[in-house]
A and B are shown apart, each in its own frame.
Chain A
Amino acid sequence: MTATIAARMTRAGLVAAARVLLSLRAIDLPPKGSGPRVLVANHVSHADFVALWSVLPKQLRLQTRPVAGADYWERSDLRRWTANHVFRAVLIDRDPASRRSDPVEAVAEVLRSGEDVIFFPEGTRNLTDARLLPLKSGIYHLARTVPEVEIVPAWILNLDRILPKGAFLPVPLNCAVRFGTPMQVGPGESREDFLNRLSSAMLALAEAKG
């Protein structure tokens, strides 16, 4: 997909700013296999997309699309432009009552076309004191719908200290994204088992040192 110059410049600017301000780096990014993959990470601030995105090698970054809530990103023209053209986000309708299309199917479509996605399995930004909110079942259904997909757990370190809720000035701390071993949903694995396995994998990354 060709991007306009404005979208490209915004993208490059955001990535450069994130790298310089946060000294961002990837820890243990697993090499891409043959199949599509879903990068799943904790979600505490709006900077999360950019953080995860900037640590990916450029070639990979252009083939990795964030999954985001349509209710938030379609609220203004600027947001819609940013979501559609800068991030090439896959916008999904989070409200089961009002939605007309299946969000899992929308994401599955992108994965089948060979692109990766960034997915925040908590479903919303975590503004609580808990490290991780209970995971929503969306990631499980996605893994079932596209069985060949690799789920790569990731943890964005320090972002909750850089821009905690209610603060408007980010404090520049060193930030890194730590990746874990890719996993797949086992045959016959129940929803609870899979979500527990995924959240412990993510929390283990949060605790890891070095």
Chain B
Amino acid sequence: MDRFHSPSAYVFYGLFAFLILATLVAQFLIRSGRVTEPTAGNLTQRIRAWWVMIGVLALIFTLGAGAITLFFALCSMAALREFATITHTRRDDHDGLAIAFYLILPLQYLLVYFEVPVFAALLIPVYSFLLLPVITVFKGEVQGFLTRVSETQWGLMVCVYCVSHIPAILTLDIPFYRYSAFTLVAWLILVVQASDVLQYIWGKSIGRHLLAPRVSPSKTVEGLVGGMLSATVLGMALTPITPFRWWEAGLIALTVTGFGTLGGLIMSAIKRDRGVKDWGTLVQGHGGILDRLDSLVFSAPVFLHILAWGWM
């Protein structure tokens, strides 16, 4: 099928239309004084960053599976960098971290790209778990040993293993499905990210009760429920481009947005513990790349497993 007329291309046309609308509405709200600083500046920055992110995604979707895999490998690199920065790792962990960055990360994405699912599933949870601490053991520094090796392992699981499940969805060949798996990746990213944005909007407009005040000072129950339900409705509205029935699409959307939200909370707890507000400064107005990816990190593996067990 022509890549400019595929369902995922139409998802992007829709997104660009929506971005134009969002930009106009935001400008109207700011000009008319209904939204004031500092929210106004943050809103403008966030929308501008969305233009860049959706633009980049549209480009790599046009270029194909190799580009998507490479893109998420680079995202993993940036995410692992943010994660490793705030851990307790010290000089003695340098070699372990270097192996994580320069060996395990590229290897994981090669395994995904060349479709070796067994090893892609085992490399980080088993082999890096067993072997990476060995590098650190021979450095002889025992202070904080468990903390340091666990943090490196967590970084690899969150930033590399989980993120690599997004391009891994492309390798699925779903029987009786008329479109390619590209469409499903677009559907997942759209639903999960829409849930984040909608939670922000619902929370800002009607949020009253804090969900977990000690973990995240901005997440509200109203935002959570409103955001997840409206993202689920969006997922159901897109049923025609998925292999699901409408109620299956709803349940799956609810599951992935649920995992996404929980992922956001878990990553927030890590940030609070380490005394930082954002993971980094890579994405203007959003913080670091992990601040944007956190919900996808926790929903992509679940989505892949649902597809692999239910539709293959």
Q: Identify the A interface with B (CB < 8 A).
A: 23, 25, 158, 160-161, 164-165, 167, 169, 171-174, 209-210
CA distance A158 to B280 in the complex (A): 14
- Interface residue B46 (Cβ < 8 Å from any Cβ of A): no
CB-defined contacts of A161 to chain B, threshold 8 Å: 89-91, 94
Question: B102 to nearest A CB, angstroms?
Answer: 7
How far apart are the CA atoms of A25 and B278 in the complex, in Å? 15
> A161 to B275, alpha carbons, bound, how many Å?
19
In the complex, the chain B residue whose C-beta lies closest to that of A167 is B94
- Binary interface encoding of chain B residues 79-98 relative to chain A, with 1 for a CB under 8 A from any of its CBs, else 0: 00110110001110011011
Any A CB within 8 A of the CB of B77: yes
Q: Which residues of B contact A165 (CB under 8 A)?
A: 91
Beyond A167-B98, A171-B84, A210-B276, list 11 extra A-B contacts (CB 8 Å).
Answer: A161-B94, A169-B102, A171-B94, A171-B97, A171-B98, A171-B101, A172-B77, A172-B101, A173-B85, A174-B81, A210-B277
Contacts of B82 in A (CB 8 A): 174
Given contacts A167-B98, A169-B102, contact A174 B91 (CB under 8 A): no
Q: Smallest CB–CB gap between B148 and chain A, Å?
A: 12
27 A–B contacts, CB within 8 A, in A order: A23-B280, A23-B281, A23-B282, A25-B281, A158-B85, A160-B91, A161-B89, A161-B91, A161-B94, A167-B95, A169-B98, A171-B84, A171-B94, A171-B97, A171-B98, A171-B101, A172-B77, A172-B81, A172-B101, A173-B81, A173-B85, A174-B85, A174-B280, A209-B275, A209-B276, A210-B275, A210-B277
Complex CA distance for A174 and B155, rounded to whole angstroms: 14
For the complex, give the distance between the alpha carbons of A169 and B281 in Å.
24
Q: Hey, which chain A residues are within 8 Å of B275, CB to CB?
A: 209-210
What residues on A are CB-neighbors of B81 within 8 Å?
Answer: 23, 172-174
CA distance A174 to B78 in the complex (A): 9
Distance, CA A174 to CA B87, complexed state (A): 12
Within 8 A of A (CB), among B55-86: 77-78, 81-82, 84-85
Across the interface, which residues of A come within 8 angstroms of B89, CB to CB?
A: 161
Q: Looking at the assembled complex, report how far the CB atom of B48 sits from the nearest CB atom of chain A, in whole angstroms.
A: 18
With a CB–CB cut-off of 8 A, which chain A residues contact B77?
A: 172
Could you tell me the distance in whole angstroms from the C-beta of A64 to the nearest C-beta in chain B?
Answer: 23
- CB closest chain-B residue, reference A25: B281
Are A164 and B94 closer than 8 Å at their CB atoms? yes
Binding site for A on B (CB under 8 A): 77-78, 81-82, 84-85, 89-91, 94-95, 97-98, 101-102, 275-277, 280-282
List A contacts of B85 (CB < 8 A). Answer: 158, 173-174
CA gap between A84 and B169 in the complex, in Å: 53
In the complex the two chains form, what is the Cα distance from A155 to B229 in whole Å?
Answer: 47
Q: Would you give the shortest CB distance from A107 to chain B, in whole angstroms?
A: 32
Measured between beta carbons, the chain B residues less than 8 angstroms from A172 are 77, 81, 101
Check A164 against B91 for contact (C-beta < 8 Å). Answer: yes
Report the Cα distance A164→B95, complex, angstroms: 10
Residues of A within 8 A of B78 (CB): 23
Distance from B76 Cβ to chain A, minimum over Cβ atoms (Å): 12
Give complex CA distance A171, B276 in Å.
Answer: 21
Q: Complex: how many Å from CA A23 to CA B84?
A: 13
In the complex, A173→B98 CA distance in Å? Answer: 11
Give the nearest-CB partner of B97 in chain A: A171
In Å, the complex CA distance between A167 and B95 comes to: 8
In the bound assembly, the distance between CA atoms of A202 and B91 in angstroms comes to 21
Residues of chain B within 8 A of A160, CB atoms compared: 91
Docked pose: A171 CA to B84 CA in angstroms: 10
Closest CB in chain B relative to A19 CB, distance in Å: 11
Nearest B residue (CB) for A163: B94
Contact residues in B for A158 (Cβ distance below 8 Å): 85
CB distance from A187 to the nearest CB of B (A): 39
Q: What are the 10 tightest A-B residue pairs by CB atom distance, in nearest-first order? A: A164-B91, A174-B85, A173-B85, A171-B97, A172-B81, A169-B98, A209-B275, A171-B98, A164-B94, A167-B94
Q: Using Cβ atoms and an 8 Å threshold, which residues of chain A touch B94?
A: 161, 164, 167, 171
For B276, the chain A residues whose CB sits under 8 A away are 209-210
Q: How far is the CA of A165 from the CA of B77 in the complex (A)?
A: 23
- Chain A residue numbers with a CB within 8 Å of B281 are 23, 25
Please indicate the chain A residues that have their CB under 8 angstroms from the CB of B84 in the complex: 171, 173
**How many angstroms between the C-alpha atoms of A169 and B98 in the bound complex?**
7
Most-contacted residue by chain A among B77, B85, B275 (CB, 10 A): B85
